Structure 1
Amino acid sequence: MKHVIVWGAAGGIGRAVCEELAGDGDTVVAVARDASDLASITRYTVDANLADEASVAQAVLQATAVTEAFDLFVFAAGDITSAKVPEMPLTTWHRILDNNLTAAFLTVQASLPYLAPGAPIVLLGAVHERLRLPGLAAYASAKVALEAFADVLRKETRRRVLVIRPGAVQTPLWKKVPFAMPKQAADAHHVAKQIVGAVAEGRDGVIDL
């Protein structure tokens, strides 16, 4: 049995990852802005704003009441909006980068002292080459930067750092953009199984699903 911390656990993929791991018998600490809906999956839920340093620090303290060493770290948080550069408010730019990139930095930084030796880090990325579309400058930029962050983190910590890049997935994020969900969009639970499988297989680096 592993101890796992999942940040951004209330989203479509984050929730599915929690369900997959809990179903395997792992102890899951699920962290989200509102984690109340996750009580049916795990008894260990924590509310936190992942883009706020003090909130993340408090969440880690609560999580370490469950275990002092996590065997797996998963960052599945994310946010998206459609706003073209000429009209985009600075607050929108900051919100998208904060929720997709700064939140990854803060949660990784705060969790590192409590990761077991060899515990892998999983970051939810995106196939950003396909996302360089009008209205998605902030989101695409955040996902490109996330991969650079992961590359440096891997060198600094000498840990496996997986950047999972799923294609279109059936999640609520699609409601925030003016694009139709592709008919071939994957089920979040199928993606979660692939993520857990990639970790079990010892994979590392960027992984396109």
Structure 2
Amino acid sequence: MTGTRTGPGAESAGLAAAGGKLLTGAKVLVTGGTRGVGRGIVSVLAAAGADVATCYRQDAEAAAALERELKRNGGDHHVLRADLAQPEEIARLVAECGTRFGRLDAVVNNAGAISHIPYGELPLDEWHRVIDTNLTAAHLVVQHALPLLPEGASVVNVGSKSAEVGIPLRAHYTAAKAALAGLSRSLAKELGPRGIRVNVLAPGVIETEAIGALPAEQAAAMRERYSRKTALGRLGAPDEVGGAVLFLVSGLSRYVTGEVLHVDGGIS
């Protein structure tokens, strides 16, 4: 593996410094923002001046840690509990954003679910769980958020490189992410006349807590394997996904819609 990295706080601060306060006063909802890629997105957007609402399902410790971080940064931020597999909780989450913010200048659908199961053994309830969390939840979040989205608003749906290449044992996951791209392209055309942009951000292999939680040998093997596959020779970091989201929700990308932006280090 090549290259060196600094700590995540320094990375987010560096991205914010590079982009300035691009989102000062913007109101943003990021689903699934207390860990991993979602936390990187929240941290970068908050550092860029946005007021961010995010949600978590069950990891209260991670939520509390994020709340402390956001409080240090300043701004009007909210970390709310919501199970996005439950349609009524999605409605409640978006309504809460309306109450607290009055509008949403950007929506980032990051919350997701994944499992690794041979296709012949894939239970129907697990198919529904993964499809509902990765696809149906994004659809419902956007649908409920429509009254809160002004002209110039941006929707970013977090997809996956796997939707294009396919991965064994993840047929349900890749199907959901591929469908998310189709949904986004249709919404880009339907909502474009309202001045609302819709794009997909497709990360590659990102170094998150999930990799860190693996046994040391397994984590090292995974890093080595995927580093060899990328043009940059390393895994990505959550804040690097956050930087791409910052571009897509800011005015820097005001003529970009219906696109899939790959943040994958040139993986092959």
Equivalent residue for 2:7? none
- Alignment pair present for 1:197 and 2:242: no
What is the correspondence of 1:38-187 to structure 2 with a 5 Å cutoff?
38-42=66-70, 43-127=77-161, 128-130=163-165, 132-158=166-192, 159-172=196-209, 180-181=222-223, 182-183=226-227, 184-187=234-237
> What is the one-letter code of the residue matched to 1:33?
R
Q: Which runs of 4+ in 1 moved over 3 A?
A: 34-37, 172-176
Between the two proteins, the alignment pairs up a number of residues equal to 207
Instruction: Output the CA distance in 2 between the equivalents of 1:198 and 1:54.
Output: 28
> What is the one-letter code of the residue matched to 1:50?
L
Q: Secondary structure at the match of 2:100?
A: coil
CA-atom RMSD in angstroms = 2.0
Equivalent residue for 1:9? 33
Contact 2:97–2:104 (CA<8 Å) still a contact in 1? Answer: no
Q: Secondary structure at the match of 1:40?
A: helix
Q: CA deviation at 1:172?
A: 4.1
The two structures have a TM-score, normalised by structure 1, of 0.90
Q: Percent identity?
A: 31
Equivalent residue for 2:42? 18
Q: CA deviation at 1:98?
A: 1.1
Gaps of 5+ in 2: 1-23, 71-76, 228-233, 264-268
Alpha carbons of structure 1 residues 124 and 173: separation in structure 2 relative to 1, 3 Å: farther
Q: CA deviation at 1:180?
A: 2.8
Q: Secondary structure at the match of 1:51?
A: coil
Contact 1:46–1:63 (CA<8 Å) still a contact in 2? Answer: no
Contact 1:18–1:41 (CA<8 Å) still a contact in 2? Answer: no
Rg bigger for which structure?
2
> What is the one-letter code of the residue matched to 1:199?
V
The two structures have a TM-score, normalised by structure 2, of 0.72
> What is the one-letter code of the residue matched to 1:129?
E
Q: CA deviation at 1:155?
A: 1.7
Contact 2:84–2:137 (CA<8 Å) still a contact in 1? Answer: yes
Q: CA deviation at 1:173?
A: 5.1
The structure richer in helix per residue is 2
